[in-house]
Structure 1
Amino acid sequence: MQEIDRPAPGEELNTSGGVSTPRQAASVILLRGGGETLELLLVKRTEKARFMGGVWVFPGGGVDAHEGEGDAAHRRAAVRELVEEAGVTLPDPTGADLVKFSQWITPAEVKIRFDTHFFLARCPDGAEVVIDGEECVDSGWFTPRGALDAHVAGDILLVFPTIKHLEQFEQFATAEELIAHSAGRAVQPVEPRVVMSGETARVLLPGEPGYDDPPALAGA
């Protein structure tokens, strides 16, 4: 469980009473370090963005209509977004060599929702990160603990799903170890819940106490 005193930019709670349909999206967790260490790429979204302004994220975005549907569409979108936001081109433009790591669905209580599929990818040898300067304005390679510590220190701003991914990555010593663990693993969708306790919002993950309670009880 995580308690927040206010939502991140673009994560405002939905007070209309209806539930919005999440948009299909894809994200690439670009790794480097091989069998020696584990570093991953984060990019900073511009402060001007309506959604997640100023937040450091894994490169990614919505699936475009021409990219189709299903897993293949998510993979194509992931490859495209990595090029657009970080200037890194993967060897296979279809994303067939990406390793699916997770699927996160924005809580129903949040106004803007995404159903995001996260993929692991090795950074190609010699590739240089070149941000677009418009949607993304900065980038950096971090160890999982380094990114979490930078967030706690106030040097970078992270949101809940990114934090939870980084916490999982901490158990792996190298990029190859993480990829080997994830290859072929069944991925189950994760949909957190947001419940209110006074003025504080609590974010609950499946399996945590209160997640399955009716709304009136979960927020009591």
Structure 2
Amino acid sequence: MAGSIGEPGQELASEEVVPARQAASIILLRGGDETLELLLVQRTPKARFMGGVWVFPGGAVDAHEGEGDAAHRVAAVRELEEEAAVSGIAPHELVKFSQWITPEQVKIRFDTHFFLAEAPDGAEPQIDGEECVDLGWFTPQDALRAGEEGAIALVFPTIKHLEQLSIFPSTAAVIAHASAHEVVPVLPKVVMSGETARVLLPGEPGYDAA
């Protein structure tokens, strides 16, 4: 399924490719062996980038956090604490799930590493009221349905992650799967058809020719 350009944060750039900033995100899960629910937070509508959109907690890697996998893990844990007030997760406990790089044609670009983490016992996420204004626990299917019905605003990468997660019956199942598989970076491409722009993923028709 191809995505579309026009979503918040998806404005096209000039001919020059903007370097992708390093970023990290946590897909916080609960449900153990029985179910699979995940945490989404709503970015404040006042934000210049993806305002009002529901996303997994995350953000850019700070310079003092270093480089490489360790820096991404530290940043992911920090962002979860800042945006959802969830602590008690050690960076080394995170399970890497995916790596998405914003298309080269887009103006604001991130190289985002997504990690899975099971919510600590007794964790009660809370919004900061500034960067994030709402949150909720969803099954992947319920989040996708809410997005289709317009109850929450979702962007293409979040939708694709929710679709991937929807095939798993439980938190334990998706963590076991991710632990056993190597992550391959995903670099979508933007294809223009007249004045319409579409986002293609690796393996989709037209991707290699773009």
Shorter-chain TM range is over 0.9
Counterpart mapping for 1:1-150 below 5 A: 1-4=1-4, 6-14=5-13, 16-92=14-90, 95-150=91-146
Q: Given residue 150 of structure 1, which amino acid in structure 2 is its aligned partner? A: A
Distance apart, 1:197 and its partner CA: 1.1
Alpha-carbon contact 2:3-2:156 (below 8 Å) kept: no
Q: Residues of 1 paired with 2:65 and 2:3: CA distance?
A: 37
Coordinate RMSD, CA, aligned: 1.0
Alignment TM-score, normalising by the size of structure 2: 0.98
Q: 1:209, CA displacement in angstroms?
A: 1.1
Distance 1:36 1:103 in 2: 27
Measured after TM superposition, the shift of residue 27 of structure 1 is 0.1
Partner Cα distance (1:90, 1:75) in 2: 13
**Cα distance in 2 for residues equivalent to 1:73 and 1:91:** 15
**Matched-pair contact (CA < 8 Å) for 1:3–1:200:** no
Instruction: Give distance in 2, aligned partners of 1:209 and 1:91.
Output: 40
Could you tell me the TM-score, scaled by structure 1's length?
0.93
Identical pairs, percent: 71
> What aligned pairs does 1:177-216 form with structure 2 within 5 A after superposition?
177-213=173-209
Q: Which amino acid in 2 is paired with 1:113?
A: R
Question: Aligned residues, how many?
Answer: 210
| SS of 1:130 mapped into structure 2 | coil
- CA deviation after TM superposition for structure 1 residue 202, in Å: 1.0
CA contact (8 A) 1:105 1:192 kept: yes
Contact 1:39/1:142 (<8 A) preserved: yes
Tell me, in whole angstroms, the C-alpha distance in 1 between the residues paired with 2:98 and 2:112. 8
Secondary structure of residue in 2 paired with 1:44: strand
Q: Which amino acid aligns with 1:100?
A: K
Q: Distance in 2 between matches of 1:204 and 1:10?
A: 17
C-alpha contact 1:40 1:141 (8 A) present in aligned 2 = yes
* Residues 193-218 of structure 1 deviation map (CA, whole Å, 9 limit, x = unaligned): 011112321110011111111xxxx4
Corresponding letter in the other structure for 2:2: Q
Stretches of structure 2 lacking an aligned partner (at least 5 in a row): none
Secondary structure of 1:180's counterpart equals: helix
Give the whole-Å Cα distance in 2 for the aligned partners of 1:199 and 1:141. 37
- TM-superposed CA distance for 1:90, in Å, is 2.8
Describe the SS at the equivalent of 1:190: coil
- State the secondary structure of the residue aligned to 2:92: coil
- 4+ residue segments displaced more than 2 Å: none
> How much does 1:184 deviate?
3.5
- Secondary structure of 2:93 counterpart: coil
Q: Which amino acid in 1 is paired with 2:25?
A: S
Unaligned runs of 5+ in 1: none
